[in-house]
A = this chain, B = another copy of it.
């Protein structure tokens, strides 16, 4: 698949991109500035010379892709989606966004009463299908594609086929994806990010995660 990662220059987006490139996908690192996307793409290529990795501005990346991943801070979500308006029509958007603000260990309830993923779906309208995934993984170790991460990925969305694409992307990134229900449930998965940040702080670790047991 051709995967664009909007805001793919950060540690999580670039780490996922590297893993997907290693799995054989064509990866486009998107950024507000094309040069920054190209620079990070070049860095990833140096780690994985065989990888099909390029960089572009977010709009160009979104236009070229089959699946678009949104990996920006919550504050940048709405303007980033605006900047690629139209290019997401008919496509699947996998959003990694988890809203946090200081104190980050405290769950942030958005004013809308919705999850960030539902806000994205509202903004984009029905032409784009939105799935939430990868909110609860640490960026730590992502760039070592052989490293198995001791965590599961909870996936929320309203369409089973779209969630299966996200589950397959988890597998390709060497993680297990678990269907966590409707897009509405993303508020819980996004909030878990703050819970895990607090667990990291209190336990003086850097990579607390969750596993689903009993399945």
* A127-173 interface (Cβ within 8 A of B): 138, 150-151, 154
Tell yes or no: A191 within 8 A of B by CB: yes
Q: Contact: B210 with A213, CB < 8 Å?
A: yes
- Which residues of B sit under 8 angstroms from A202, Cβ to Cβ? 179
**A178-211 contact mask (Cβ, 8 Å, vs B): 1 or 0:** 1111101101110110111011101101111111
Closest Cβ of chain B: how far from A199's Cβ, in Å? 6
Q: How large is the interface on A (under 10, 10 to 19, 20 to 34, 35 or more residues)?
A: 35 or more
Q: Contact: B181 with A198, CB < 8 Å?
A: yes
Q: Contact: B209 with A212, CB < 8 Å?
A: yes
Closest Cβ of chain B: how far from A68's Cβ, in Å? 25
Tell yes or no: A113 within 8 A of B by CB: yes
Tell yes or no: A214 within 8 A of B by CB: yes
Q: Contact: B192 with A192, CB < 8 Å?
A: yes
CB within 8 Å for A208 and B214 given contacts A113-B109, A181-B106, A188-B107: yes
CB within 8 Å for A198 and B215 given contacts A109-B113, A113-B113, A210-B210: no
